[in-house]
Structure 1
């Protein structure tokens, strides 16, 4: 099943009775950008999609969530992780975000993140109303938080207030895998 980012964005915008221009003003992007995404003529970067969803007061995980039953299951195989990567690869097909568990009634979002060499969450730093932490379980990642950039390697971790603008980039040469958590689940 293919996720239709444009149709979902349009449905969420219309459910809130917003025009494309109104949403653009709330999100700090152009109405043309909203239009192009809704027509699936472009795939937004993670930062751009998060800006747009902030205008809808909606976390990224909820945008990609399908209707789920109440969370009664507590264990999950890797195959049961739910893809929440924006289709088109968040404008970077080298990035994959898999959600562990349910979004229903949860105050915590756990992600299995995969960054191929050269993967980048975008040239613009992004932020969200949350706190996040993670551990690099394979490879290395360049993490920028505010004005500070660090190269984290296997076994290294991070913990910061996600309201601070941040960005993830894999300088290579190999893949990077991170297991992270975010609370509340606003990503």
Structure 2
């Protein structure tokens, strides 16, 4: 099963496990019913921002949707020119309540993130290149080796205004309430 198939199947399973219709899922996530249906049928690839909205609305870690099928490198990306590519380094950790991602942001790319679920703390560390971050309405420039920690439950944005690809790591620390709805050890999804 490829990543797109995995995403489609996982979304449908999580929705059905809750007994939700596509309309209810749309209400909870802020993503249109039509788009959710297309994702479930594997007719459309969501943007990173859309995938975050879905994970937040379902109250599951982001990596739930990009956990690797056997022998395949997981990733999520914005379909338009792969402006942002996200690869899990350490997917959801049940004991420590975090995901750790390696993210590349193409030159000139901007990714705006809606607030994640309450209590999420995000840590961003630039590995190479230059990354601009908008946190609490203020832009801050980070270069290789610099990092920032902020409340991920507020709107924030990532921008690469340089001519080189930016590479950074993002550790998403979820509140302990996340544990009840997170994937079980071994990548299996709990019955929700």
Q: Confirm or deny: 8 A CA contact 1:100 1:112 kept in the other structure.
A: yes
Alpha-carbon distance, 1:173 to partner: 0.3
The question of 1:128 aligning with 2:116 is answered yes
Matched, 1:141 2:131: yes
TM superposition shift of 1:41: 2.8
Work out the number of aligned pairs and report it: 170
1:53 maps to 55
Unpaired runs of 5+ in structure 2? 179-192
1:95 to 59, 75, 84: 84
Name which of 17, 30, 33 aligns with 2:32: 30
Residue 176 of structure 1 pairs with residue 178 of structure 2: no
Query: 1:98 and 1:29, CA in 2 relative to 1: closer, same or farther beyond 3 A?
Result: closer
Which deviates more from structure 2 when the two are superposed, residues 12-21 or residues 46-55?
Answer: 46-55
- Distance in 2 (CA, whole Å) between partners of 1:160 and 1:81 is 32
Q: 1:49 to 1:102 in 2, by over 3 A?
A: closer
Name 1:73's counterpart in structure 2. none
The structure-2 alpha-carbon separation of the partners of 1:138 and 1:103, relative to structure 1 and needing over 3 Å to count, comes to: same
Partner Cα distance (2:79, 2:135) in 1: 21
Shift in CA distance, 81/67, structure 1 to aligned 2, threshold 3 Å: closer
**More deviation in 98-107 or 149-158?**
98-107
Q: Which has the higher helix share?
A: 2
Structure 1, gaps ≥5 residues long = 69-79
2:2 aligned partner: 2
- CA deviation vs aligned residue, 1:53-82 (integer Å, no higher than 9, x gap): 2222211112222589xxxxxxxxxxx996
**Within 2, Cα distance between the matches of 1:165 and 1:102?**
23
Contact 2:84 2:103 in 1 (8 A): yes
RMSD: 2.6
SS in 1 for 2:168: strand
- Once the two structures are TM-superposed, the CA of residue 172 in structure 1 deviates from its matched residue by 2.6
TM, length-normalised to structure 2: 0.76
1: CA distance, partners of 2:100 / 2:165: 20
Distance 1:42 1:81 in 2: 20
Separation (CA, whole Å) in 2 of partners of 1:29 and 1:42: 13
